[in-house]
Amino acid sequence: MFCINLETHDPFFNLALEEVLLKSREEEYLILGINDPSVIIGKHQVAHMEVNTKFVAENSIPVIRRISGGGTVFHDQGNLNFTFIRRCETGKQVDFRKYTRPVIDFLVSLGIQARFEGKSDIKIAGFKISGNAEHVHRNRVLHHGTLLFSSSLEMLKNSIRTDKSHYSARAVGSNPAPVINLSEKLNIFSDVNQFSKEMMRHFLKNMTDIEVCNISPQDEEEAISLAATKYRRWEWNFAYGPEYTFKNTFQSAGKIYSCNLFVSNGIIKECTIEGSDKMRSFAEKLIRCRHMVPDFSEVFNKENINISGEEIFNFF
Q: Where are the domains of the chain?
A: 2-237, 244-315
Interval 248-282: pLDDT, tens: 999 988 899 999 999 999 999 999 999 999 899 99
Please state the rounded mean pLDDT for residues 32-52: 98
Q: Please give the Cα distance from 53 to 74 (Å, whole number).
A: 14
Strand 167-169: give its sheet, edge to edge.
167-169, 244-252, 255-264, 267-274
**Is this structure's pTM higher than 0.85?**
yes
Q: How far is CA 136 from CA 22, 43, 203, 235, in A?
A: 9, 13, 23, 22
What's the confidence (pLDDT) of residue 70? Answer: 92
Interval 95-107: pLDDT, tens: 999 999 999 999 9
Mean pLDDT score across all residues of the chain? 95
Backbone angles phi, psi at 81, to 5 degrees: -100, 135
Sequential DSSP letters for the chain = -EEEE-----HHHHHHHHHHHHHH--S-EEEEE---SEEEE-TTS-HHHHB-HHHHHHTT--EEE-SS-S--EEE-TTEEEEEEEEE--TT----HHHHHHHHHHHHHHTT--EEEETTTEEEETTEEEEEEEEEEETTEEEEEEEEESS--HHHHHHHB----TTEEES-PPP----B--GGGT--S-SSHHHHHHHHHHHHHHHSSS-EE----HHHHHHHHHHIIIIITSHHHHTSSSPPEEEEEEEEETTEEEEEEEEEETTEEEEEEEESSHHHHHHHHHHTTSBSSHHHHHHHHHHTT----TTGGGGG-
Please state the rounded mean pLDDT for residues 223-236: 98
Please state the rounded mean pLDDT for residues 277-303: 94
Confidence of residue 172 (pLDDT cuts 50, 70, 90): confident
Do the domains 2-237 and 244-315 sit in the same CATH topology, yes or no? Answer: no
- Domain at 2-237: CATH architecture: 2-Layer Sandwich (3.30)
**Which residue from 158, 140, 137 is spatially nearest to 61, judged by alpha carbons?**
158
Confidence of residue 184 (pLDDT cuts 50, 70, 90): very high
Sequential DSSP letters for 3-48 = EEE-----HHHHHHHHHHHHHH--S-EEEEE---SEEEE-TTS-HH
Please check the confidence at residue 247 and state whether its pLDDT lies above 80: yes
CATH 1.20.1260.10 matches 244-315: no
Please check the confidence at residue 113 and state whether its pLDDT lies above 90: yes
Confidence of residue 305 (pLDDT cuts 50, 70, 90): confident
Confidence of residue 92 (pLDDT cuts 50, 70, 90): confident
What's the confidence (pLDDT) of residue 85? Answer: 97
